[in-house]
Chain A
Amino acid sequence: AQSVSQHNHHVILSEAASLELGCNYSYGGTVNLFWYVQYPGQHLQLLLKYFSGDPLVKGIKGFEAEFIKSKFSFNLRKPSVQWSDTAEYFCAVHNAGNMLTFGGGTRLMVKP
Chain B
Amino acid sequence: GAGVSQSPSNKVTEKGKDVELRCDPISGHTALYWYRQSLGQGLEFLIYFQGNSAPDKSGLPSDRFSAERTGGSVSTLTIQRTQQEDSAVYLCASSLPGTQQFFGPGTRLTVL
Contact surface of A with B, Cβ cutoff 8 Å: 32, 34, 36, 42-46, 49, 90, 92, 94, 97-105
Q: With A100-B43, A100-B45 given, can you name 16 additional A-B contacts, CB distance below 8 Å?
A: A43-B105, A43-B106, A45-B103, A49-B100, A94-B101, A98-B31, A98-B48, A98-B50, A99-B45, A99-B59, A100-B33, A100-B93, A102-B44, A103-B42, A104-B42, A105-B43
B77 within 8 A of A: no
Contact surface of B with A, Cβ cutoff 8 Å: 31, 33, 35, 42-45, 48, 50, 56, 59, 91, 93, 97-98, 100-106
B residues within 8 A CB of A45? 103
B93–chain A nearest beta-carbon distance, Å: 8
11 contacts between A and B (CB under 8 A): A43-B104, A43-B105, A43-B106, A97-B56, A98-B33, A98-B50, A99-B33, A99-B56, A99-B59, A100-B33, A102-B35
A residues within 8 A CB of B56? 97-99
The one of A32, A34, A36, A99 in contact with B48, judged by C-beta atoms closer than 8 angstroms, is: A99
Decide: B103 and A101 in contact? CB cutoff 8 A. no
B2–chain A nearest beta-carbon distance, Å: 13
A residues within 8 A CB of B105? 42-43
A residues within 8 A CB of B35? 100, 102
B residues within 8 A CB of A102? 35, 42-44
In the bound assembly, the distance between CA atoms of A106 and B104 in angstroms comes to 20
Decide: B100 and A34 in contact? CB cutoff 8 A. yes
The one of A42, A97, A100, A105 in contact with B101, judged by C-beta atoms closer than 8 angstroms, is: A100
Decide: B100 and A44 in contact? CB cutoff 8 A. no
In the bound assembly, the distance between CA atoms of A43 and B48 in angstroms comes to 19
Closest to A92 in B: B43
